[in-house]
Amino acid sequence: MNTVRSPHHRSFFSPGACRRAVAALALSLAPGTGAATPATVIAIDLNQPGKAISADLFGIFFEDINYAADGGLYAELIQNRSFEYQATEQSTWNSLTMWELVTRGDGKGAFIAEAADPVHPDNPHYAVLHVSQPGAGVGLMNAGFDGIAIKAGERYDVSLFAKQLYVGARWGAVPATPEIKPGALLVRLESQTGENLGEALVNWPATDWTRLTATITANRTDEAARFVVLSTIKGGLALDVISLFPQKTFRGRGNGLRADLAQVLADMKPRFIRFPGGCVAHGNGLGNMYRWKDTIGPIEQRKEQANLWHHHQTVGLGYFEYFQFCEDIGAKPLPVVPAGVCCQNSGQTNGAGQRGLPLEQMPDYIQEVLDLIEYANGPATSTWGAKRAAAGHTEPFHLEYLGVGNEDHITPVFQKRFQMIHDAVKAKHPEITVIGTVGPSPAGPDFEAGWKIADEQNVAMVDEHYYEKPEWFLNNLHRYDGYDRAKSKIYLGEYAAHDDGRKMTLRSALAEAAYMTHLERNGDLVRLASYAPLLARIGHTQWNPDLVYFTNTEIFPTINYQVQRLFGVNSGDTWLTAMVSDPAQAADFAVSSVRDSRTGDLILKLVNAGAAAKPLHIEIDGARELPAHAVTTVLAGDDPMAVNDFANPQTVLPQTASIAVGPSFDYEAPAHSLTVIRIQHR
């Protein structure tokens, strides 16, 4: 295990810069006060070699928690489209949950769930609609996730699988005749009072499962519409995978992502995306582990399953879509596969606690992990690369990182399976960085045992997790300074400052910002870091705080999101020593200076978590040429307990301004603030 052995290391301090800083300290006063409050001096010598840090440092953690996938990032508008909801997910759920019978005019009918002869064996349930009297139509209605938000003039793609069971009376029925085929099914968007918001006709299906499609153009904007499929034929009909997508998905992808939410994530400029969890990755019992092969291919063939956060995974957002999203936003994929064990918090219904796959199943499981690498990186002629190509992506996805395990309890059962997977991946794919796991806390038995394995097996990188109070983060701004650089690299895979009441306060965001300056300083060791969790649907949230809250029509990025975004947008690849004169090295003040080699820009991040404004005097030595002005972005508020909540989503927002800069300039960091100063220097 690593221990923190030394304070903030200063190996790049140059004596010249030190002397200048002290001299400047003597001369500097708080700007505008004329009083004897000395300014803190920050001195940066651009002649220093700097320290190479990870260019992938800041990324995002995506887990399907809080309806982050279905009902969230995944743009599907129908809830329980495949009739696979189960009581094990929520006690009131069954296959027909979220669907209602609708009868129009003097129509009469009923619907039930069936499982014989399904669309695909991995998608076992479907609905059967019996229409005994068509009237003006009999069918099914779905209100999506808290209603279906549609926009006037936009187009929505409907697809569904249907099968004619009988035509006419239920008993002694006859097959459909060709003349009743066209337009026998109507798909429609309706308001809550039944007004027609757009509709299309769909042909009557064959006696085998048939995929039917249509496009509806919304004639009005409605935040909470409903979707209806109506039959006007007396008879029986099987229906499954009833899907409705906006055509305007992120980058216009089929089976795509909600454009506005995906854009909010893209705006963070994440260097990587971790998926699919979190606890979802290792699952609630062995049967609930996230198995990547179940999540690719046509959506009707994917194996849906319960989500241990008590909702449902259609896995419509599956491995292909995750890889594609990464590529679309320039982030590296970081999948996490189970280490052959399920979550130690698995419930009684699934067998309590952590359990391991039987050892005789491990060879197949290991092959499954190796196949994932082939799916991502193999040529289109390889078995799994061909499946990627069949999904429309001939080129590889350039997988570099692979997490094995998620904060597992470090037991002999875990260790055995982890070692088998780790060794197999390392042997066959030395180019892949395998990321091990060291438990759910920043210290303790799992942390120590996980590190012991990492040391013994020479694991390339380990995944640390911690959710702590803001004070913890401010008191641990030197955690990684003393880590042994010869050991495993660090992926800080889950972290968040949890303030009182688990609120997303300015105070918590600034504690994270201060901590992120320390991650940058240690970016030679800490290669990756991601806040967790990411998304939360309002009204369906199992975990607080999260980075971004949303409804069907609105998105509420927290102050913590703004911090993550500012670090993502302003990341660098060389860390430069910034000498800070403040001898107290106050825990509520943190500085980081990095250079971005793509632009040459010098980026200064200043976190003042204190209650008083902080006068600063900044000295930049060794610049070839400095511009007269630089852009500052400031995230600040008077009240450290401020939150960007749903009533006041814009309490604390970044403000940009231009300030005069040069080899020597003053700046006052406001109370409770993060400031980013970006100075062009080519």
- Residues annotated catalytic, as ranges: 407
Smallest distance, ligand AHR to C-beta of residue 459, A:
18
Residue nearest to ligand AHR (CB): 278
Binding mask 161-200 for ligand AHR (x = CB under 6 A): ----------------------------------------
Query: Is residue 406 close enough to count as binding ligand AHR by CB under 6 A?
Result: yes
Smallest distance, ligand AHR to C-beta of residue 320, A:
22
Question: End-to-end distance of the chain based on CA atoms, in angstroms?
Answer: 42
Q: Which is nearer to ligand AHR, 450 or 654 (CB)?
A: 450
Smallest distance, ligand AHR to C-beta of residue 337, A:
14
Q: Which is nearer to ligand AHR, 61 or 227 (CB)?
A: 61
- Give the bridge partners for 246, in sequence order: 156
Separation of alpha carbons 267 and 59, rounded Å? 12
Q: Which is nearer to ligand AHR, 200 or 454 (CB)?
A: 454
Q: Which is nearer to ligand AHR, 463 or 573 (CB)?
A: 463
Query: Is residue 333 close enough to count as binding ligand AHR by CB under 6 A?
Result: no
Query: Is residue 277 close enough to count as binding ligand AHR by CB under 6 A?
Result: yes
Which amino acid belongs to residue 396?
Answer: P
Q: Which is nearer to ligand AHR, 218 or 532 (CB)?
A: 532
Q: Which is nearer to ligand AHR, 496 or 559 (CB)?
A: 496
Query: Is residue 494 close enough to count as binding ligand AHR by CB under 6 A?
Result: yes
Q: Which residues of 420-441 are buried (b: 16+ CB within 10 A; e: fewer)?
A: bbbebbbeebeebbbbbbbbbe
Q: Which is nearer to ligand AHR, 238 or 281 (CB)?
A: 281
Separation of alpha carbons 529 and 567, rounded Å? 11
Stretch near ligand AHR under the rule CB under 6 A, chosen from 129-137, 250-258, 272-280, 285-293: 272-280
The DSSP code for 505 is: B
Binding mask 450-489 for ligand AHR (x = CB under 6 A): ----------------------------------------
Stretch near ligand AHR under the rule CB under 6 A, chosen from 100-108, 265-273, 277-285, 612-620: 277-285
Provide the 3-class DSSP secondary structure of residue 352: coil
Q: Which of 407, 464, 512, 601 is the binder for ligand AHR (CB under 6 A)?
A: 407
Q: Which is nearer to ligand AHR, 306 or 630 (CB)?
A: 306
Query: Is residue 334 close enough to count as binding ligand AHR by CB under 6 A?
Result: no
Separation of alpha carbons 216 and 159, rounded Å? 11
Residue in 60, 14, 110, 186 with CA at minimum distance from that of residue 568: 60
Query: Is residue 63 close enough to count as binding ligand AHR by CB under 6 A?
Result: yes
Token pair recorded at residue 346: 């698995």
Name the percent of the chain in helix, strand, coil, to the closest 5.
20, 35, 45
Close Cβ partners of 221 (under 8 Å, ≥ 6 residues apart): 150, 151, 152
**CB-based burial label for 559 (10 Å; 0-12, 13-18, 19+):** buried
Binding mask 502-541 for ligand AHR (x = CB under 6 A): ------------------------------xx--------
Smallest distance, ligand AHR to C-beta of residue 576, A:
33
Separation of alpha carbons 682 and 680, rounded Å? 6
Q: Which secondary structure element, helix H or strand E, spans residue 323, and what is its range?
A: helix 319-328
Smallest distance, ligand AHR to C-beta of residue 282, A:
9
Q: Which of 71, 139, 440, 545 is the binder for ligand AHR (CB under 6 A)?
A: 440
184 in Cβ contact with 203 (< 8 Å):
yes
Smallest distance, ligand AHR to C-beta of residue 415, A:
19
Q: Which is nearer to ligand AHR, 256 or 493 (CB)?
A: 493
- Sheet architecture: strand order including 401-404: 60-61, 272-275, 332-337, 401-404, 433-437, 461-468, 489-497, 526-531
Separation of alpha carbons 146 and 377, rounded Å? 39
Separation of alpha carbons 76 and 679, rounded Å? 43
Smallest distance, ligand AHR to C-beta of residue 451, A:
18
Query: Is residue 335 close enough to count as binding ligand AHR by CB under 6 A?
Result: no
Q: How many CB atoms lie within 10 A of CB 557?
A: 21
Residue in 445, 450, 449, 414 with CA at minimum distance from that of residue 435: 450
Query: What residues numbered 9-38 form the site for ligand AHR, per CB under 6 A?
Result: none
Smallest distance, ligand AHR to C-beta of residue 412, A:
22
Query: Is residue 403 close enough to count as binding ligand AHR by CB under 6 A?
Result: no
Q: E-strand spans in 412-569?
A: 433-437, 461-468, 489-497, 526-531, 535-537, 548-550, 555-557
In degrees and rounded to multiples of 5, residue 629 shows phi and psi of: -135, 155
Residue in 404, 408, 430 with CA at minimum distance from that of residue 419: 404
* DSSP letters spanning 399-454: --EEEE-SS----HHHHHHHHHHHHHHHHH-TTSEEEEE--SSSSSHHHHHHHHHH
Smallest distance, ligand AHR to C-beta of residue 516, A:
18
Query: Is residue 546 close enough to count as binding ligand AHR by CB under 6 A?
Result: no
* DSSP letters spanning 16-71: HHHHHHHHHHHH-B-TTT-SS-BPEEEEEETTS--EE--TT-B-EE--S-TTSTBT
Q: Which of 41, 279, 511, 609 is the binder for ligand AHR (CB under 6 A)?
A: 279
Smallest distance, ligand AHR to C-beta of residue 152, A:
38
Query: Is residue 588 close enough to count as binding ligand AHR by CB under 6 A?
Result: no
Query: Is residue 543 close enough to count as binding ligand AHR by CB under 6 A?
Result: yes
Close Cβ partners of 327 (under 8 Å, ≥ 6 residues apart): 397
Smallest distance, ligand AHR to C-beta of residue 278, A:
3
Q: Which residues of 235-245 are buried (b: 16+ CB within 10 A; e: fewer)?
A: bbbbbbbbbbb
- Give the bridge partners for 603, in sequence order: 594, 678
Stretch near ligand AHR under the rule CB under 6 A, chosen from 273-281, 330-338, 378-386, 443-451: 273-281
Q: Which is nearer to ligand AHR, 216 or 261 (CB)?
A: 261
Q: Which is nearer to ligand AHR, 164 or 406 (CB)?
A: 406
Stretch near ligand AHR under the rule CB under 6 A, chosen from 250-258, 275-283, 346-354, 449-457: 275-283
| Residues making contact with ligand AHR (CB under 6 A) | 63, 65, 277-279, 406-407, 440, 494, 532-533, 543
